[in-house]
Structure 1
Amino acid sequence: MKTFLLDSFNRYKRFSEELDVKTILCNKSWLIFNDCGDKELYVFQENGSLIASVNGNVTNAKWQYIPANKSLVVSFREQSFMFHPSFINNVIFALQQDGTERFAFMINEEQSESFYPKSLKELNNYFEGIERKRIEAEEQEKRWLIEQQRKEQQRIEEEYKRQQQYRIEQERLRQEEARRAEEERRIEQEKLAKTKKENDILKQYKLFLAAKVLGYILIASITATLTILAYNTSTDGAWLIVPPIVLCILYCGYKISISWLRKKILTHHLRTEKKKKEKEEAEIENAFKIQNKLNSNKDARELAKQILLRVENLNTHYGLKFRVNWICPNKTYKEVSLIINNGSDVLLYEHLAIWGSQEIKLKEVKPTIRITLRLIWDNIPVYKIILINKE
C-alpha cells in the first residue's frame, strides 16, 4: 500500500470521528492510488480479512480498526501498516500513516469512472478543487448570512419605523383629541362665563327682575281665571284640558318676551359700557395730554413714565373710599406731594416719601376724580396723573 507526501493536504483534512469506519470500508471495493499505473484493489471484509489485488494478483491480508486511538491497521504477510482516517467524501478515502505526513488514498470503485487520478498532481488538483469549492461555499454562505442579516436588520428597522410612525400617529391623535376636548371645555367655559356675565348684568336692572316676577304672576292669574271660567261654563270634563293649553301658550309667550327683553337690556348695557369706555379713554388721553403739558421737558416726561401710580380698594356704597399707592424712581427729590381734584374740591398731601400709600375718603363724589403725584426733581416739577371715574 503505497503512501505519498502531500505538503498541502493537512488543510484538506475533513473526517468526523463520529463516522463508523467499518461501515465505510466494508461491502465496497477500493482502488488504491499509485503513480505506477498498476490497478490495485482492496476489499475489506466484515470478518477482518482483506482481499488485496494488484493487476489481478490476489493477496490475502487482514485489517482491524482500533477505536482506542482511532486507527486502522492493515497487516500483510511481510509488513503491517497503521493509518488514521483523515479525509472522506463519496469518492475518496484518505488515510494518514501513523507518525508521518504521508497519506494513502483509496477511491471508491463505483465512482472511479468520474474520478480516477493517474498522477499525484492530478490528485492534488482534485483536493484543491474540493477546497476551492468548500471556500466558495463558505464565502457564499457568509454572503447569504450577511444578506440575511441585512434583510433582518432592514426588517427590524422598517418595523421600528412602523412602530414609531404608529406611536407618532397615536400621539398626534391623542393630542388632537386633547386639543379638541380642551377647545370644547374652553367654549363651554366661555359660554358659562358669558351667561354668568349676562346674568350679573341683568341683576343690575330691576326692570328685568320685575318683568320676570310679573310674567309668572300673569301666567298664574290668567291660567287660574280661564280655568275657573271653563269649569263654570262646561257641562262635562272638557274644562280639564284648559289649564295645560293655556299654561303652555302663556309660558311660550313669556319666554319669547323675556328673551326679547333680555336681548334689549344686554344691547343697551353693552352700548352704555362702550360709551363709558370711550369716555374713560378720552379722559385718560386728556389726562396724559395734561401730564405732558405740565411736564415741561423731555427728562420730566421720561421720569413720569417710570413712576408707578395706582388706586385700589374702591368702595362706592357711602361716598368713596380708596387707597392711592405710588413708587418713584430712586432719586433725590425736594418735594413729593399728592393732589386729589374732586370737581372744584382739592385735597393736598405734602412731604410724602418717594414710595408709599395714602387712604382717601370722599363724601360727595364728582363724576371724574383726578389724582396727581407731583415731584420736584433737580428744580424740575414732574407730574403723574390718573383718573377715577365714578361710574
Structure 2
Amino acid sequence: MKVYLRSIAKQLNNFSLSLDKTSILIDKPWALIDEEFEMQKLIFKKNRELILSKNGKVQEGKWDYFPEAKSLLIDRNTDKILCNEAFVDKGIMILKLDGTENRFFILANENIVPDLDANRYLKELRYQKLKIKEAELIDGRIIEVQRENEYSDPQLGNPVTVEAENIEDGKYQLAKKEKYYEIRKGRIFKILTEVQYTNPDGKEIFIQQQDSWRIKNGDYVYMNGRPVETAILNFTKSKNMVVRHGKVVRLERKNPFTRWISKAWKQMWDYYNE
C-alpha cells in the first residue's frame, strides 16, 4: 500500500491541486485513513479549529497550513502530525508524513467519495487522467498501458504498469494468446503477433512478429516450443531463414546467383527485402 500510494502520487503529480486554496479543505467532511486503515472523520473550520470524530466520540483540535512547505499540521490533541502534500484532489488527498519516505495518510471527501473507497476512486482517477487501457496477461495479471489519448490503441513507447507499480523488463504474453508485449524500462518496446508457418519439410515454425503481415529483423523464432538459438532454417522452397540468438537476422535466397542479385539490389536501393 505504501509503495502503491507513492507511485500514484508520482504519476498524478501533474494533475495535483494545492491546499493553497484552502476552500478545498474547509467545511468538508473529510475522513482520514491511516496505514492501519483506522478511520477518523475531520472537519477543518475556517478559524483553524478542527472537529474530530472517531467511533462516535467527538473532540476538538487545531490545524494550520504552511504554504511555503506545502505542509498541513493536524493537531488531534492526542498527537500532532505534519504532513506534506503528495497529491491533492477535491475528492482525495494523499499526504506524506514529514521526514519519511513511505508513511502516507489518505483523506477522502465524503461528499465526493461517499463509500470512502479511496482505492477505487484513485484507480478511476488514474485511468481517466493517464488514458489507461487494461490488458490481461495469460497468467491473470492486469497490465495498465498509458496511451496518448483514450481512443488510441497501445503503441510503442507507451508506459506500462501493474497496479501503478513498475513492471520488470521482459516479454509478456497477453490472454489473447498470439499477442505479446516486450517491455523495456517500463515502456512498450515491441508489440508482437505470433504467426505459424510450415516449412517444406513439414516442420512448424512459430515467429513472433513485429509486423503481423511480414517478417522483420529482430522477430523471435520458435520450434517445438523452444527458441531457435542460431541456425539456418529451411523456410520456403526458395528461401532460408538465418537465425541468431533466437531472432531473425534475414531471409536469403537459396540459389547463390539470385541471392547475389538480391543483395546487390538491396544495396543499390536500400529497401529491397528478401
TM-score interval for Structure 1 and Structure 2 normalised by the shorter chain? 0.3 to 0.5
The structure richer in helix per residue is 1
Calculate the TM-score normalised by the size of structure 1: 0.31
